[in-house]
Amino acid sequence: MSSLVERIESDLKTAMKSRDQETLGTLRLLKSDIQYEMTKTGAKELSDADTESVIKRAVKKRQESIVDLDKAGRTDESDLEKRAIEKLKSYLPEELSEEAIGQEIDAVLSANPDESNFGKLMGQVMGRLKGKNADGALVRSLLQKKIGN
């Protein structure tokens, strides 16, 4: 069992003992997502990297829910989702800063000064940032600013 999954299960037990229903619900859903991923891939256990990707998907799903809840005027449930996202993000490594992402974009642009195909540039930047926990939407917006799209 990966250390990240062990940490999640330990926090789940702590939430049960302290009767923290909000954390308990968030972690139970996360554990369910991890179990589903294991079943889907046929793996007996997930690596930390695979577990991180499951957590990122859960965060993204909740962010989409927040947008829908805000549109519907359900701010109380939206706040609950925001707190759940913060709990989930505590299991992820620190995200790269805009400056670090900007440096990688500059490196790709200087290596390909004549390239104007956004898709190719984006692919190269994301390839350089693979495994460094960079937000794809942030990378896209910074790259668009730099190339003037």
Least confidently predicted of 20-29, 86-95, 129-138: 129-138
pTM greater than the 0.85 cutoff = no
DSSP string, 72-90: TT-HHHHHHHHHHHHHHHT
Check pLDDT > 70 for residue 149.
Answer: no
pLDDT over 90 (residue 18): yes
For residue 116, pLDDT beyond 80: no
Tell me if 48 sits within 8 A of 91, measured CB to CB.
no
Domains of the chain: 3-89 (1.10.1510.10), 98-147 (1.10.10)
DSSP SS3 for 143? helix
CA distance 107 to 92: 26
**What is the per-residue pLDDT for 146?**
84
Decide: 54 and 41 in contact? Cβ < 8 Å: no
